[in-house]
């Protein structure tokens, strides 16, 4: 199709692209086949991102995109039927979307939350979650359970856990290219990365990180001689881990087995995040310990550094200790949550015109 698309489809896709993805990679492209039919080409970052070696983080993002698209379609009176094309490799799944008019379909109130939802990596209020809000969040993810880590002692345990995991992230050479490439320095907004001011560190630490991330040698020097991980872990893991209402795990009914399960988890996550937004809550995903624990369980090599592997194995055991081995295996997402304030910096998105694979304008 080499032509203009309908105003209605354009509105749907303009909203859909605001779905969240790890490091704001936006691993999706659109092929418009007709005004009521399109293909979403998913991809992942397994060739260069240690957090996505099995593609599952990207598949969660695909799910978030498809859920956002389906919610946006309701504002046009359309139901979105989504099917994954059989036979495509897991690293490049293709989703067929058919939009059909649906009489009596009301616009989902979450449409208004799509552009407002954003990650908050800095301090949130420690005000406990309102029980009615917890019930609304639980109701937004049928087929999944939310396990809460609330109260000062559990938040402290989670904060320490995240800081230990942060040491792994900052000392493994395999994560270095991702950290080097995903931050847009000195920026408050970024279309295709995470802007420096949304990272969650103070300006001095940001300057030091910017200097260090020019080479792995500098990062190693800082880590070895100047306790280089202390300030980032304090600001990125320990303090935010305490300064929130709760941490949570999104737990599936059975261990996720493949692409479809992760896509479904991404759909649930996006509903959860949009409902949280509608309740005045902010969230930050805490996905790297979930990912490393899975690598450990599945015996997937992800680092050449023995100390990192050993620490990841100990952290995986610690997670099983709090939740039980079954819940830990069935956890598809983890994060922290709390009431405001809203972040002052955020990721934006690539313009829609850059997301088409065919000549749509
Ligand atoms: C599957 C997935 C994993 C993510 N993991 C993390 C994470 O571990 N830490 C974090 O701070 N943000 C994480 N994020 C948040 C993204 O970085 C964020 O959604 C993206 O940069 C876009 O920003 P926005 O959500 O503010 O629009 C994750 C998002 C997704 C969808």
User: For the domain that residue 202 is a member of, what is the CATH number?
Assistant: 3.40.109
Q: Does residue 355 belong to any structural domain of this protein?
A: no
Q: Kindly state the tokens that stand for 240.
A: 């935010």
Distance (Å, rounded) from C-alpha 96 to C-alpha 30? 10
pLDDT at 67 > cutoff 80: yes
Distances (CA, A) of 153 to 157, 179, 236: 6, 31, 19
**Mean predicted lDDT score pLDDT of the chain:** 96
Crossing angle of the two packed helices 56-74 and 288-298, in degrees rounded to 10? 130
- Please, where are the H alpha helices in 192-287? 203-212, 216-225, 230-233, 239-242, 259-278
Positive or negative torsion for Cα 300, 304, 308, 314: positive
**What is the helix, strand, coil percentage profile of the chain, to 5?**
50, 20, 35
Counting ligand 1 atoms within 8 A of each CB, the residue from 15, 17, 18, 20 with the most, and so the one to mutate, is 20
Same domain, 192 and 331: yes
pTM for the predicted model, two decimal places:
0.97
CA 155/CA 336 separation, integer angstroms: 9
Ligand 1 pocket check for 287: Cβ under 6 Å: yes
Q: Is 64 in the pocket of ligand 1 (CB under 6 A)?
A: yes
Does residue 146 share a domain with residue 108?
Answer: no
Q: Work out how many domains the chain is built from and give that number.
A: 2
The pLDDT of residue 358 is 76
61 touches ligand 1 (CB under 6 Å):
yes
Which pLDDT band, with edges at 50, 70 and 90, does 359 fall under?
low
Q: Within 10 A of 112 (CB to CB), how many other CB atoms are there?
A: 13
121 lines ligand 1 (CB under 6 A): yes
Is there a single domain that holds both residue 308 and residue 269? yes
Q: Are residues 111 and 158 in the same domain?
A: no
Cα(154) to ligand 1 centroid in Å equals: 23
Task: Let me know whether 32 and 170 are in one domain.
Answer: no
- Domain C-terminal end among 117, 139, 166: 117
pLDDT tens, residue by residue, 258-279: 999 999 999 999 999 999 999 9
122 domain residue, yes or no: no
Predicted confidence (pLDDT) per residue in 285-327, tens digit: 999 999 999 999 999 999 999 999 999 999 999 999 999 999 9
Mutate to test the pocket of ligand 1, among 16, 21, 293 (most ligand atoms within 8 A of CB): 21
Ligand 1 pocket check for 58: Cβ under 6 Å: no
Distance 46 CA to ligand 1 centre (A): 16
Nearest ligand 1 atom to the CA of 64 is 31
Whether 307 maps to a domain, the answer reads yes
Atom nearest to 198 CA in ligand 1:
26
Tell me, yes or no, whether 360 lies in a domain: no
Q: Is residue 123 part of a domain?
A: no
CATH code, domain with 35: 3.40.109.10
pLDDT of residue 221: 86
Is ligand 1 within 6 A of the CB of residue 164?
A: no
User: Is residue 168 in contact with ligand 1, taking CB distance under 6 Å?
Assistant: no
Task: Judge whether 163 and 241 are in contact, CB under 8 Å.
Answer: yes
Domain boundary residue among 92, 117, 142? 117
Q: How many whole angstroms from 57 Cα to the centroid of ligand 1?
A: 10
CA of 61, closest atom in ligand 1: 31
Q: Whose CA is nearest to atom 17 of ligand 1?
A: 23
**Nearest residue (CA) to ligand 1, atom 14:** 22
Q: Is 60 in the pocket of ligand 1 (CB under 6 A)?
A: yes
Higher pLDDT, 222 or 193: 193
Average pLDDT over residues 145-157: 98
pLDDT tens digit sequence for 70-98:
999 999 999 999 999 999 999 999 999 99
**End-of-domain residue from the set 67, 87, 117:** 117
Residue 166 pLDDT greater than 90, yes or no: yes
Instruction: Examine the domain organization and report whether 108 and 141 are in the same domain.
Output: no
CA distance linking residue 62 with residue 40, whole number of Å? 9
142 and 282 share one domain: yes
pLDDT per position as a tens digit, 196-232? 999 999 999 999 999 999 999 999 888 887 777 888 8
Q: Is 351 part of any domain?
A: no
The residue among 243, 225, 219 whose CA lies nearest residue 159 is 243
Tell me if 23 CB under 6 Å of ligand 1.
Answer: yes
Same domain, yes or no: 334 and 289: yes
Which domain range does residue 206 map to?
Answer: 131-346
Nearest of 151, 124, 152 to residue 276 by alpha carbon: 124
Task: Output the residue whose Cα is nearest ligand 1's atom 6.
Answer: 285
pLDDT for the residue 223: 84
CA of 33 to the centre of ligand 1 (A): 30
Residue with tokens 């946006």: 72
The closest-lying atom of ligand 1 relative to the alpha carbon of residue 57 is: 1
Q: Pairing mode, if any, of strands 189-190 and 78-84?
A: unpaired
Portion of the chain with pLDDT greater than 90, in percent: 93
Q: What average pLDDT does the segment 182-209 reach?
A: 96
Residue 356 maps to a domain: no
The tokens describing 197, both together, are 């001011």
User: Is 237 touching ligand 1 by the criterion CB < 6 Å?
Assistant: no
- For 92-130, write each residue's pLDDT tens digit: 999 999 999 999 999 999 999 999 999 999 999 999 999
Q: Are residues 106 and 142 part of one domain?
A: no
Asked if 309 and 175 sit in the same domain, the reply is yes
> Is pLDDT above 90 for 1?
no
Contact (Cβ atoms closer than 8 angstroms) between residue 335 and residue 286: yes
**Atom nearest to 21 CA in ligand 1:** 31
- Find the range with the poorest average confidence among 142-146, 229-233, 253-257, 343-347: 229-233
**Whether residue 150 is found in the same domain as residue 60:** no
Cβ neighbour number for residue 87 with a 10 Å cutoff? 6
User: Taking Cα atoms as reference points, which of 52, 352, 301 lies closest to residue 182?
Assistant: 52
**110 assigned to some structural domain:** yes
Spatial separation of the C-alpha atoms in residues 106 and 125, rounded to whole Å: 34
State whether 292 and 257 are in the same domain. Answer: yes
């Amino acid at each position: 199709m080499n032509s203009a698309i309908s105003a209605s489809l354009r509105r749907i896709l303009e909203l859909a692209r605001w779905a969240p993805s790890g490091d704001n990679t936006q691993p999706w492209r659109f092929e418009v086949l007709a005004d009521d039919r399109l293909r979403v080409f998913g991809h992942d970052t397994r060739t260069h991102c240690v957090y996505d070696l099995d593609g599952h983080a990207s598949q969660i993002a695909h799910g978030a995109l498809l859920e956002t698209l389906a919610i946006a379609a309701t504002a046009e009176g359309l139901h979105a039927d989504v099917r994954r094309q059989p036979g495509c490799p897991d690293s490049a799944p293709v989703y067929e979307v058919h939009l059909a008019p649906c009489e009596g379909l009301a616009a989902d109130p979450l449409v208004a939350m799509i552009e407002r939802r954003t990650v908050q990596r800095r301090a949130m209020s420690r005000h406990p979650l309102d029980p009615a809000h917890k019930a609304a969040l639980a109701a937004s993810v049928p087929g999944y359970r939310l396990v809460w880590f609330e109260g000062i002692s559990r938040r402290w345990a989670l904060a320490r856990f995240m800081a230990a995991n942060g040491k792994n992230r900052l000392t493994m050479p395999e994560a270095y290219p991702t950290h080097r490439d995903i931050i847009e320095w000195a920026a408050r907004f970024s279309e295709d990365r995470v802007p420096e001011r949304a990272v969650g560190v103070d300006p001095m630490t940001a300057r030091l990180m910017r200097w260090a991330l020019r080479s792995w040698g500098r990062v190693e020097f800082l880590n070895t001689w100047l306790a280089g991980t202390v300030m980032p872990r304090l600001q990125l893991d320990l303090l935010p881990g305490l300064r929130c209402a709760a941490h949570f795990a999104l737990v599936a009914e059975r261990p996720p087995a493949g692409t479809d399960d992760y896509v479904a988890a991404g759909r649930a996550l996006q509903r959860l995040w949009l409902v949280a937004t509608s309740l005045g809550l902010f969230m930050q995903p805490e996905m790297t310990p979930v990912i490393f624990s899975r690598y450990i369980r599945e015996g997937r090599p992800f680092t050449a550094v023995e100390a990192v592997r050993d620490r990841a194995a100990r952290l995986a055991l610690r997670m099983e200790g709090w939740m039980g081995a079954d819940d830990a295996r069935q956890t598809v997402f983890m994060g922290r949550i709390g009431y405001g304030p809203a972040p002052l910096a955020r990721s934006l998105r690539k313009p829609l015109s850059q997301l088409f694979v065919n000549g749509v304008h």
